[in-house]
Structure 1
């Protein structure tokens, strides 16, 4: 697997303007995440350690609206550290990165979780994070470290965005499913595909990056011109594409090809991901500069890399753990194996070219 994984709008940019529901549903549709309520501040654990100041007995985590772990998992943090964990939710991943980047030295929390590799360079460049190397990172997380950084962010999980195919639909219709990203150039497959606008969808942006990394600098634009000219449907967000247009989605639509996640087939039997089409999305945690409880923040980063949390991630948030040796839920190895290779683009390169690539994409598809 390539190590520089680059797969969930900062400072007013419209690059990935999908709302929290789009992202939450995409990552946890099997858990019924459609009904998630956006809560500004959520206390996950109650009580505090005896003695000590409030800042020492409580640690606050700033995260995106899709964060969820079972109470019994979160309970272990208080048992192990004696600290109360409070969770502050701050919109989608782009909004989260923006909040952190705009408040260096005056953070809204002690630690942050949920900034991904497409936004990672922004808070690092803003000086909003304290370097920290968790002793647990060497077990796997270090492989996903942000290139050319000083350990300001620690990888916690990965979620690979890929084309998904409804294999049952193809079998029922006596047709051969596509086997690669390049197959979408064929008008037959293009008309069967539901793709995502990268300006309004975070997995849509990831899929755009997959095409940029797969084809040469000029070739990716030609790819999009061909695919859309041949009839591919482009919609604003994952929920529309997967649950309304995809033949295996809740709405039983008429598109047997859709942009989703490599983990999606674990939730939708009879489907599979085209593993040559994946862009690796990595989510990070970090200690916020100026944190009231920096020691608690470091312990929280360690906790997110612990076996307890890593084993809970797949079924809680439908992402892959980064720590080596973490078992996947039963059936995942067969129905939703993690890609062995993914497209790799450094976060700094994405940040430098995001707006240009978006405009080139608009020109290519005629938007």
Structure 2
């Protein structure tokens, strides 16, 4: 998601190396927010017998585009980080090889619709949601917004900041939430009203949250921001509470997948890596490592997540095939509306 995640990932945390022969190493192609501890990497290598090499760059969209461009000569064996907004494209372009991994409890819920050959295996999930600074609204005596429609009301003029849909994975997810809510005939009008109400657009999540959001640590002046359902677990007030809330009626579900690349030099190693990402140790590490929820429903969440990272019961979704068909058109239209 993109991952989708509440960190500026450091590739220094990700294992890498020169690797060995093609039959002794497995190369993972992923996005720049991927984090796997050295302990977990060593566990995979010890259990599988393969040396793991990680190639990380870009977000989920850039990752998928690169895989499509290199599909005739893939740069790795396995991929992690294609999400449900780009999954259909990867499948349609023949980037992936079928692999029906054994899924843990609850993971089948997140299978990509239309993926009949099981090319993508769900690994983690989370929701892109509008977040609010509870302390700011309490101090001002203004009721917090609750819905997408609330964001265009005069009470919230000049208060919302969001990453753009063309430059950010969560920004695209937010655009899809508005399409799901207002439909093909209404989403452009909604965005026109949103921009007229002083919405600020940024290049990415970090700019919006860490710089412009009032709880982001950058002395920002916007108390409403696009972020994640897990974000409140990381704005603790030191007194047993949190200073922010996710608006659960504004959320779009994101799922990140792993898969075996078609034409991989080491498909056996790729399948072993996909299996490892479904294992309990890897699933347990996801919240702290990448700020996402495991797909294994039997895995216990960290205490702060259990208290403050609430997930929506009915997040917005858009059919992956519809996203694949209309993504470019929607992004062109979005650019037109937001540049007026």
Q: What is the TM-score of this pair, normalised by structure 1?
A: 0.85
Q: Give the drift of 1:42.
A: 5.0
1:203-352 equivalences in 2 (<5 Å): 203-269=170-236, 270-352=243-325
Residues 247 and 255 of structure 1 are in contact (CA less than 8 Å); yes or no, is this contact kept in structure 2? yes
Q: Give the drift of 1:327.
A: 1.2
Q: 1:77 aligns with which of 30, 44, 55?
A: 44
CA distance in 2 between partners of 1:241 and 1:227 (Å)? 16
CA distance in 2 between partners of 1:321 and 1:43 (Å)? 24
Q: Give the drift of 1:261.
A: 0.9
Gap regions ≥5 residues in structure 2: 237-242
Q: Give the drift of 1:47.
A: 8.4
Q: Give the drift of 1:37.
A: 5.0
1:254-281 C-alpha deviation (Å, 9 max, x unpaired): 1110111111111123101001111111
Residue of structure 2 in register with 1:145 after alignment: 111
1:44-193 equivalences in 2 (<5 Å): 54-135=21-102, 137=103, 139-149=105-115, 150-193=117-160
CA distance in 1 between partners of 2:23 and 2:77 (Å)? 11
Gap regions ≥5 residues in structure 1: 1-6, 9-22, 49-53
Q: Give the drift of 1:102.
A: 2.1
Greater displacement, 301-310 / 66-75: 66-75
Residues 15 and 36 of structure 2 are in contact (CA less than 8 Å); yes or no, is this contact kept in structure 1? no
CA distance in 2 between partners of 1:104 and 1:366 (Å)? 35
CA distance in 1 between partners of 2:203 and 2:269 (Å)? 39
CA distance in 2 between partners of 1:313 and 1:221 (Å)? 36
CA distance in 1 between partners of 2:266 and 2:212 (Å)? 47
Greater displacement, 109-118 / 188-197: 188-197
Residues 163 and 261 of structure 1 are in contact (CA less than 8 Å); yes or no, is this contact kept in structure 2? yes
Tell me the SS of whatever aligns to 1:148: coil
Residue of structure 2 in register with 1:357 after alignment: 330
CA distance in 2 between partners of 1:105 and 1:119 (Å)? 19
The root-mean-square deviation of aligned C-alpha atoms, in Å, is 2.1
Residue of structure 2 in register with 1:27 after alignment: 5
Q: What is the TM-score of this pair, normalised by structure 2?
A: 0.91
